[in-house]
Amino acid sequence: MSESVAELNPNGAATQPLGAYSRPKGGGGWRDWVTTVDHKKIGILYGATALFFFVVGGFEALLIRLQLATPNGTVVGADLYNQIYTMHGITMVFMVIMPLAAAFANYLLPLQIGARDVAFPRFNALSFWIFLAGGLFLNFSWLVGDAPDGGWFAYSPNTGVTFSPGHGMDFYAIGLQIVGIASLISAMNLIITVLNMRAPGMTLFKMPVFTWMILVVQFLLLFAVPVITVALFLLVFDRNFGSHFFNPEMGADPLLWQHLFWIFGHPEVYILILPSFGIVSEVIPTFSRKPIFGYEFMVFSGIAIGFMGWGVWAHHMFVSGIGPISVGAFTLSTMFIAVPTGVKILNWMATMWGGKLRFNSAMLFATGVVSMFTVGGLSGVTHALSPVDTQQTDTYYIVAHFHYVIFGGALLGFFAGFYFWWPKVFGHKLGETLGKWNFWTMLVGFNLAFGPMHILGLNGMSRRIDTYSPGFGFDFWNLFATIGVFVVTLGVMFFVINVILSARRARGLPPEPPDPWDARSLEWFSPNPTPVHNFDEVIEVSSLDEFWHRKWTTDEDGRVVRKATAAEVCQAGDAEGVHLPSPSYWPVVLAAGLPLIGLGLLYNLWICVPGTLLVLVSTYAWVFEPPDDPDGPFGHGHDEGDDGSHDEDVPGDGSPAGQEAGSVE
């Protein structure tokens, strides 16, 4: 048992199999985590990192709220405040919500399609390490006292060298560039995994809704990331090489930045929400004991949201002066996004209708999403109406909107996911009592914190102000909101305590028996926690909710009756010698080079040299490293299961061929 597992879960001592690590494998220790190419471990790494950054971003949020608790606040000065709120936005969006989605996607997506790993396991590790490198690079700016301070959407020309002469915006541009590479790699990887690694019989329309939503998100990333890549390149060139893309003095139009940013930025907000929609679509059916209502509608509305998300970006620019015709067109396109989203909300409610609802913590969080996201969605529709938005934009009403959709939609959804899949990942459930405390404090606190922001915004409080004067009617609700955040913090604490206590309680006990929730999808075929090779044998899929259909059937009267117990249906997880991809050092080495190159651009080009060397050497080594180490513990071997021919057919046996693409690129 490795130390790093213990780190993740301080009290889950060595006796309790944890996470991906149910069977002892050679090596051990931190090296396993650094060199792993196992999608489950990578998922856990993503999750742990995201939670760490959540505390960082949350701490920044606390500072914001303390500063604004009273008029003429003096907790931080204007300069620091601007850095804090900017980093808060960046951290929460790029280093909390996106990696949380990556965590769930990495861990679950291969399992849900019955695969052994993702299509390109080393690329997968690479994207995690690059993401981490980018996140650390961005936060390194705090250490040099020069964090980005131009807001998360960094409107030019305020972010050019003239008006932001420090290095803050360089950290922003280069840091997000690095994080973007990670997203792009992982997007390609997951798309190909879904398309190419499905278990036999699993057609696209037999995939769980979660898998679908992740697929849509990866397509959004695939096409949206290059757009912000362009924007960030132009910004870096402007700042460091003297180009004039955003320099009005030379005749450039600063609105170019806004277009590029929001062409990325709007699809980005659906990138933030759709994974959570996917999770909710798994949790609600399970705890209602009913299939998802209108599966095809759910899938198509997700796809529709993905598509429509590309045609609405200028609703962030209603007051930029882009002309009434453009404004009108974007008003209309934005309004109609409410339609596919409404379908989702109502279908979730219809799923609950007639069910037998078990209010476990996961279900509570999922239904929390249904109601809280709606609040945010509705305020979204009010600012879709451009004339109304001219009063709302850049006020706390917007801040309220996006925290309702992001916290109330995305984050609560991820918490539902935590409670739902914790036994799958760590072999034991999270405690229900604390879970309910967790839910209610978070729900109440979140409404206390962000509900009043609607009122503040309508009262005319602008966002991104480091302080306000008394006499504008802002005092009361600001204090109120600040108190609310402390309730949220309490909620987060309950979660942390729950994680620790549950692990401690589970110590020495056998892992959670299969199928703790009477679930429906493929990941529950394997025992808890998931064995390193995922599945003993290939699952032949013949219907949506395959797992459920193996357990239950309907009798002549149409009543649902059990045909097999979960224990009978589940696999034992004891197959041996399964062909798995081997760990590699190169992803982490390559990733380490990127922030060095970034720092070199900022401070001294010589620092670029070791960075570039790291990248080149590891690329070279990567290309010539056999993806399978014949001597390694994960190396060649053959499935000794009843049907020996399986080995070749196992979809997603981490097809090492995949990695050759690394060699050509």
Comparing CB distances to ligand HEA, the nearer of 271 and 566 is 271
Please return the burial class of 650, using the count of CB atoms within 10 Å of its CB with bins 0-12, 13-18 and 19+: buried
Is the distance from CB of 530 to CB of 486 less than 8 angstroms?
no
**Does the protein bind another protein through residue 241 (CB under 8 A)?**
yes
Shortest CB 388 distance to Cu ion, Å: 15
Alpha carbon distance 111, 116 (integer Å): 7
Task: From 38, 32, 148, select the one nearest 94 (Cα to Cα).
Answer: 148
CB of 274 to ligand HEA, least distance (A): 8
Hey, how many other C-beta atoms are within 10 angstroms of the C-beta on 153? 16
Is residue 657 near another protein by the rule CB under 8 A? Answer: yes
With binding defined as CB under 8 A, does residue 339 bind another protein? yes
Task: Confirm or reject binding of residue 155 to another protein (CB under 8 A).
Answer: yes
Binding stretches for ligand HEA (CB under 6 A): 55, 58-59, 61-62, 64-65, 85-86, 88-89, 92-93, 97, 151-153, 269, 272-273, 315-316, 318, 334, 337-338, 341-342, 345, 374, 377-378, 380-381, 383-384, 389, 392-393, 398-399, 401-403, 405-407, 409-411, 449, 463-464, 485, 488-489, 492-493
CA distance 38 to 318: 45
Distance CA 220, CA 224 (A): 6
**Which part of the chain contacts Cu ion (CB under 5 A), choosing from 116-124, 262-270, 320-328, 354-362?**
262-270
**Between 192 and 465, CB nearer to ligand HEA:** 465
User: Whose Cβ is closer to another protein: residue 5's or residue 448's?
Assistant: 448
Residue 515 burial (10 A CB sphere; 0-12, 13-18, 19+)? buried
What is the spatial distance between Cα 442 and Cα 184, in angstroms, rounded to a whole number? 32
115-124 exposure pattern, b = at least 16 Cβ within 10 A, e = fewer: bbbbbbbbbb
As given in the structure block, the two tokens for residue 477 are 């609700």
Task: Tell me: does residue 266 bind Cu ion (CB under 5 A).
Answer: yes
Which of the listed partners (ligand HEA, Cu ion, another protein, none) does 492 bind, with a CB threshold of 5 to 8 Å by partner kind?
A: ligand HEA
The binder of 409, among Cu ion, ligand HEA, another protein, none, by C-beta within 5 to 8 A per type, is: ligand HEA
378 binds another protein (CB under 8 A): yes
In the complex, least distance from residue 533 CB atom to another protein, rounded to whole angstroms: 17
Instruction: Please select the residue that binds another protein; options are 335, 483, 501, 608, rule is CB under 8 A.
Output: 335
d(CA 665, CA 50): 29
Cβ proximity to ligand HEA, 17 vs 376, nearer residue: 376
Among 56, 93, 101, 119, binds another protein (CB under 8 A): 119
- Give the Cα separation of 258 and 543 in Å (integer): 46
Cα(652)–Cα(627) distance, integer angstroms: 14
Q: Is 31 in the site for another protein (CB under 8 A)?
A: no
**How many C-beta atoms surround the C-beta of residue 566 within 10 A?**
19
- C-beta closer to another protein: residue 47 or 377: 377
Residue 320 binding target from Cu ion, ligand HEA, another protein, none, CB below 5 to 8 Å by type = another protein
CB of residue 36 to another protein, shortest distance in Å: 19
Beta bridge pairs of residue 18: 21
Q: What are phi and psi of 57, to 5 degrees?
A: -65, -35
Least distance from ligand HEA to the Cβ atom of residue 312, Å: 7
Q: Could you give the CA distance from residue 40 to residue 523 in angstroms, rounded to a whole number?
A: 12
Binding site for Cu ion (CB under 5 A): 266
